[in-house]
Homo-oligomer: A and B are copies of this chain.
Amino acid sequence: MPINTGTVLVVGGAGYIGSHMVLMLKRAGFTPIVLDNLSRGHREALSGAKLIAGEMADRDLLAHLFTTHSFSAVLHFASYIEVAESMKNPAKYYQNNVAATLTLLDLMMEHQVRHFIFSSTAAVYGEPHYTPLDELHPLHPVNPYGRSKRMVEEIVMDYARCGHLHYAILRYFNAAGADPEGRLAERHHPESHLIPLVLQAAAGERDAIIVYGNDYATPDGTCIRDYVHVTDLCDAHLLSLQRLLEGGESLLCNLGTGRGYSVQQVIDAARLVTGCRIPTVHGDRRPGDPAILVANASRAMQELHWQPRYSTLETLITHAWQAMRVTA
């Protein structure tokens, strides 16, 4: 039987994926406590969970949090995720994504909190040597964002190796979609995710969608990505949390579907779902954008008995569209 009680700390719980996780944790019987600096997150996305507004790097605040609560686990969604920004301002990425995470881990160690679920990314792989990518693919991240994530992975695994931590490191491919019941939106500031950008173009909120590169070695020339529904990601987190709380082994795995869609396919599907015109403009390739990025997610499926439920293109876009219109 899953142990679905206890208080868990959700760092970044007001953000896109974190807020969906808070919703799921509550429904599953947990008491999520959210720490979020609200730089990207939204207070109204908390579904009634307790919010501590502050910085993960604030050691005194963390000390107070860990002293006043007894956490059975920590889920960490509080990384900065914008590749271009990380290349312009690496200090921000290393300070927040690495140094502040070390502070969080320090407090976990001091308070004997041993279960840690970390949002990692396919960006740790860098340019794919083969596709689909399994977890044994070499790690050569090509920007500070990806390097900051790989550093935390290494640090977490070193803590675990000497018995200080049990972890689930979950390497997301392209997170997309929104709560199937329309309770939460997909929002990023600035918006950098393809499906919301496409839907903003459909809604007339932006003039056109820029397609970066149409001469890739793919069937229609546009980049192929593996889109995974945010609720499916949260399912995998919940399964990971239950596994750790039941004494299961640490786990590192990809979260994707194994199936890729091209930028052009996303746009075409969005036209069908929305019934709107979606103007497109051709742009240059962006440096560091591989042609194809698709997960081999069989480890997550085997180890966690995880199965994506909502990660078809039509469902992803339908949910994102519905959430955008409900919360617009």
- Which A residues lie at the B interface, using CB under 8 A? 87-91, 94-95, 98-99, 102-103, 105-106, 109, 144, 147, 151, 154-155, 158-159, 161-162, 164
Q: Which of B91, B102, B151, B161 has a CB less than 8 Å from the CB of A109? A: B91
Q: Which of B89, B99, B158 has a CB less than 8 Å from the CB of A162? A: B89
Copies of the polypeptide in the assembly: 2
Q: Are B102 and A162 in contact (CB under 8 A)?
A: no
Sample of 4 more A-B contacts, CB < 8 Å, known A98-B155, A144-B158: A87-B162, A94-B102, A95-B102, A98-B99
Q: Which of B90, B106, B154, B158 has a CB less than 8 Å from the CB of A159? A: B90
Q: Are A91 and B164 in contact (CB under 8 A)?
A: yes
Q: Which of B105, B154, B164 has a CB less than 8 Å from the CB of A147? A: B154
Among A88, A91, A103, A147, which residue has the most Cβ atoms of chain B within 10 A?
A: A91
Q: What separation, in Å, do the CA atoms of A94 and B156 have in the docked complex?
A: 10
The 7 closest A-B pairs by CB, nearest first: A90-B158, A99-B99, A144-B158, A99-B102, A151-B151, A94-B155, A147-B154
Q: What separation, in Å, do the CA atoms of A90 and B151 have in the docked complex?
A: 13
A94: chain B residues at CB < 8 Å are 102, 155, 158
Q: What separation, in Å, do the CA atoms of A99 and B105 have in the docked complex?
A: 12
Q: What separation, in Å, do the CA atoms of A109 and B95 have in the docked complex?
A: 13
> How close is A13's CB to chain B, nearest CB, in angstroms?
24
A164: chain B residues at CB < 8 Å are 90-91
> How close is A78's CB to chain B, nearest CB, in angstroms?
16
A151: chain B residues at CB < 8 Å are 98, 151, 154
Q: What separation, in Å, do the CA atoms of A289 and B83 have in the docked complex?
A: 37
Q: What separation, in Å, do the CA atoms of A304 and B106 have in the docked complex?
A: 41
Q: Are B91 and A98 in contact (CB under 8 A)?
A: no
Q: Are B98 and A162 in contact (CB under 8 A)?
A: no
Q: What separation, in Å, do the CA atoms of A102 and B99 have in the docked complex?
A: 7
> How close is A92's CB to chain B, nearest CB, in angstroms?
10
Q: What separation, in Å, do the CA atoms of A106 and B98 have in the docked complex?
A: 14
Q: Which of B88, B91, B99, B105 has a CB less than 8 Å from the CB of A91? A: B105
A88: chain B residues at CB < 8 Å are 162
Q: What separation, in Å, do the CA atoms of A105 and B98 have in the docked complex?
A: 14
Q: Are B147 and A158 in contact (CB under 8 A)?
A: yes
A106: chain B residues at CB < 8 Å are 91, 95
Q: What separation, in Å, do the CA atoms of A109 and B89 have in the docked complex?
A: 11
Contact sample, A vs B, 19 pairs, CB 8 Å cutoff: A87-B161, A87-B162, A90-B158, A90-B159, A90-B162, A90-B164, A91-B105, A91-B106, A91-B109, A91-B159, A95-B102, A95-B106, A98-B98, A98-B102, A99-B103, A144-B158, A147-B154, A147-B155, A151-B154
